[in-house]
Amino acid sequence: MSLFYFVSFLSILFSLLVIFTKNPVYSVLALIATFFTFTIQYILLNAQFLAVVNFIVYMGAIMVLFLFVLMLMNLNKESEPMKSNLIKVVGVIAGGTLLVTLVGATKMLQTSEVSALPNSDIGLVENLGKVLFNEFLLPFELSSILLLTALVGAVLLAKKDKRTQNG
């Protein structure tokens, strides 16, 4: 149980670093560390599939994309426009709304002892595969055909037309 609290503390610490760090590259690196602590939490909850998906998709693909975009933007203080007072007021209102929501949510929480799950195999990939390929086979196959169609469409749209280049 102490590992849970330690990883939760690290998760909160890294998420605060994401918000309060001035350098956007350091902010993205803190976001990667936050996602890594989420992966550890998923492993502690016996949800291996979610842990692997979180590790590959969020930490691998999306965060690398964020870093590339930030490096391509070449942010510096001279090119950053001054923010208007309206944007600052909207930011304060949004932050206050978030604070009120968090306070209301913590008041609704009931501090009860965490009990063991009745089925400890609930997050295993094997059980997910059995359910996915037995009960949900048709929607799974339809979504794969939809993704394949989108992939072919994207390739056709990105392909240069030779007739327009020569003519």
In a domain? residue 101: no
Final residue of a structural domain among 75, 93, 116: 75
Helix (H) / strand (E) containing 75: none
In a domain? residue 30: yes
Each residue of 97-110: pLDDT tens digit? 888 887 877 777 75
The verdict on 68 and 134 lying in the same domain is no
In a domain? residue 59: yes
pLDDT band at 158 (very low <50, low <70, confident <90, very high): confident
In a domain? residue 80: no
Express as a percent the part of the chain with pLDDT over 90.
11
pLDDT of residue 15 exceeding 90: yes
Final residue of a structural domain among 75, 106, 138: 75
Which pLDDT does position 1 carry in this prediction?
66
The verdict on 68 and 1 lying in the same domain is yes
Which pLDDT does position 82 carry in this prediction?
64
Average model confidence (pLDDT) for the chain? 79
Which pLDDT does position 114 carry in this prediction?
52
Final residue of a structural domain among 75, 91, 113: 75
Dihedral of CA 19/21/25/26: which sign?
negative
**Which of 60-64, 132-136, 163-167 is least confident?**
163-167
Each residue of 27-64: pLDDT tens digit? 888 888 999 999 999 888 888 888 888 888 887 777 77
In a domain? residue 95: no
Which pLDDT does position 159 carry in this prediction?
74
**Residue-range definition of the domain harbouring residue 140:** 125-159
Which pLDDT does position 17 carry in this prediction?
92
Number of independent structural domains in the chain: 2
The verdict on 70 and 3 lying in the same domain is yes
In a domain? residue 114: no
Question: Residue ranges of the alpha helices (H) in the chain?
Answer: 2-20, 24-44, 48-53, 63-73, 85-108, 125-134, 137-158, 162-166
Question: What's the rounded mean pLDDT across residues 52-78?
Answer: 75
Reading the block at residue 159, the tokens are: 């392909």
Reading the block at residue 97, the tokens are: 């709304």
In a domain? residue 119: no
The verdict on 4 and 67 lying in the same domain is yes
Select the more confidently predicted residue: 159 or 42. 42
For the full predicted model, state whether its pTM sits above 0.75.
Answer: no
